[in-house]
Structure 1
Amino acid sequence: MEALRTLLPGQWMEPFWLGLQILLILVAAFVLQRIVARGLSRLGDRYPLPPELLVPVRGSLRWLIMGSALLFVLERLGVSATVLWTALSGFVAVAAVAFFAIWSVLSNLLCAVLIFTVGPFRIGDVVELVDTLDKPGVKGRVIAINLLYTTLLEVPEAGGTLVQVPNSQFFQKAVRRWRGTEVPVLAQDTTGEAD
């Protein structure tokens, strides 16, 4: 209150107008977001658009409107829009490079979670990754599953060595599986009893 008393009669109007402008920007952004959401809802009612399409579009437009409002508010407070865009674009570029650099690791981690939860195979099962139907792939008994690799002990006729297969490969190729103690079906067996 003491600071307001020390202001000259015309000086208190400047912060008032700045606050009013910020409030108007936020209200306009909120109203625009509501109009866009209502328009998308009407569009979805009028045309047979799936909700799986409308929900991300509505969310993206909401973030775009509110982000633009934030930029306008920061500009009114004296922050340069050029500096903000430079910082934002630099951050996005670094995040994109980091994301692509660790994509294979993230893919293997996600696939490990899927292997643990869905259970397409277990430790002790014999699995074969099929490259093509006429060419045999990696085949062995699963002896370990970790967050990045599944370790297979190759069948004795293939050499009996340990092979570490990235977990994502089990979701990119066809997989033949034989449970636990079942004997793998040989190529000349035509009964089709493979699990």
Structure 2
Amino acid sequence: MPDYIIMLKTFARELGAGAIVVLVAFLISRVLRRVINTLRESHSLSSTMAKRLQNFRQRTIIFITLLVLMQIAGVFDNAWAFLSTALLAVALGFVAAWSILSNATSAVLVLILRPFRIGDTVELMDPTGEPMGGEVTDMNLMFTTLTLPVAEGDSPDRPSVLNVPNNFFFQRVLRTRSRHKPDSRAAFFSDPED
């Protein structure tokens, strides 16, 4: 069979597949548009949110349709690798943001609930059973700084310091020895009352 006939068959097959992809994308887009409009008309969805969803629907369907068409045409052989890499990057961004937000939220909860304060001695029970802890000397949005007791042979001039992520205080069993009075309303960063 001549090469041009093979090329024409391949082109016809790609053209047919492309037409089917465009038709399916069009139908999915219409169905989603009707669903969003129905939700908006039934007042289950605000007009602003419906407009945002319509824009998102349109852009997402166009993007995925273009990827599929490029894959069919052989222009972009690794379209799905590109898409999965992009989704992985977004997922990693969410994980990083979750970690930061988790520690910041935990810091705010520690300041409000006061399970411990500056000057208190805390111990976090590790799942292995070994406690880790020390005296609370500082706190920021990410970490609480604990000064460890001076071990035998250590220099008392340079105490060991442990920076513990704030969310650990809500994920592990916490034991606190406080020099503050039990009913004290003193601020978190205040000195223990005498």
Considering Cα pairs closer than 8 Å and 6+ residues apart, tell me whether 1 or 2 has the greater RCO.
Answer: 2
Q: Give the TM-score normalised by structure 2.
A: 0.48
Q: Give the TM-score normalised by structure 1.
A: 0.48
